[in-house]
Amino acid sequence: MQILSLVRDPTRIEEGFRLLLQQYQERLYWHIRRLVIQHDDANDVLQNVLIKVYRNIHNFKGQAQLYTWLYRIATNETLTFLKKKNKKSAISLEQEIINLADTLKADEYFDGSEVQLKLQQAILTLPEKQKLIFLMRYFEGLPYQEISTILDTSVGGLKASYHHAVKKIEMFIKEI
Amino acid sequence: MKYKKEIQDELDELSPFLSELKQKKTGMELPEHYFDFLTASVMEQVVLIPKPSSSVLPTAKPVWYAFLFNKHIWSGLAMTLLLLVTILFFRNQPISDEPAFAEISSEEAVIYIAAHLEDFEPALFTEGDFIEEIEATKIDDAEVDLYLEEIIEDLDIETLEELF
């Protein structure tokens, strides 16, 4: 793989890293954005992720696919960010759902319909792991095997979680 | 791709409502040229990070370098040198403070023995080396006869009877 051979060469690491950005930054951005919702938060988290990737790219052994390794770092960094944010606000889920609606309506980088807003609120009600599985499968179109590697969960468990998530979201949107 | 179709079929079966919603815009947007800005911003930051090359990727060193900076090799050499100096020093030292017998002449030996006759065991004079020493002096037979006659004259009759 060209990116890996370049980033392992100290004289060409920046060239290799630029290629890595071109190839993966957009996918990583959307993965993070769907979890944190707001663009500014996604931008902050993504920059931290990419700096972390640059610092540790020489430790990547190449046993997994590069983007699986990148997704893992992005997921961990995003969950840490969300935990810190939730700890600061310390509000109930119901209040969080209301706040999200207000935030999205005010966000200059959100231009969704009412049903899209409800979809985001429904996703917010899911437990953490179900949320990750739903986003990776529904929006990013990842096969179960890859989600299993990223989240370190069995394929059987993933299927059950995804099916539950889909049903819950449908119910949430239709009920409101 | 095959798995994309599988994902779509699965969603169609689970929730036709969500399947239809997926085809519509999500409403999430981005600032214009965001990814160009992101690349530039990240590259600006990474050039300031020290490259992992020096600490992570060791460079190959020549054999002499390893020899020059190997403390085990140097301590081994020092021990060997110390041992050699010790051996050479003791090899040049005399084993004893006594004078070497080879340097003493036969005449000196005879004079010394005559002067210290009482210090020697009589048995010593019957041992091979001493007899050979006497033989080596080549004393004339006539002198021996004369010496014996003088001794006999000095002896009294009782002593002569005991001898014969």
| Unique residue bearing structure tokens 């060193």 | B61
Is the distance from CB of A39 to CB of B38 less than 8 angstroms? Answer: no
Predicted pLDDT at B67: 64
Asked if residue B132 is part of any domain, the answer here is: yes
CB contact (8 A) between residue B43 and residue A47: no
Q: Which superfamily does A91-176 belong to?
A: PhyR, sigma-like (SL) domain (1.20.140.160)
CB contact (8 A) between residue B30 and residue A13: no
Rg (CA), chain B: 56
- Together in a domain, B125 and B144: yes
| A106-161 pLDDT, tens digit each | 888 888 788 888 899 899 899 999 999 999 999 999 999 999 999 999 999 999 99
- For domain A1-90, the question of CATH label 3.30.70.580 is answered with no
- Together in a domain, B69 and B105: no
Select from B13, B26, B44 the residue whose CB has the most chain A CBs within 10 Å, as the one to mutate to test that interface.
B26
CB-count burial class (<10 Å; 0-12, 13-18, 19+) for A26? middle
| B57-114 pLDDT, tens digit each | 444 455 666 666 677 788 888 889 999 988 888 877 666 555 567 778 888 888 887 7
What ipTM did this prediction achieve?
A: 0.83
Q: Which residues does residue A77 pair with via DSSP β-bridges, in sequence order?
A: none
Measured between CA atoms, the residue of chain B closest to residue A145 is: B3
**Structural domain range at position B79:** 64-93
CB contact (8 A) between residue A117 and residue B27: yes
Cα–Cα dist A162/A138, whole Å: 9
Q: Where are the domains of chain A?
A: 1-90, 91-176
CB contact (8 A) between residue B49 and residue A55: yes
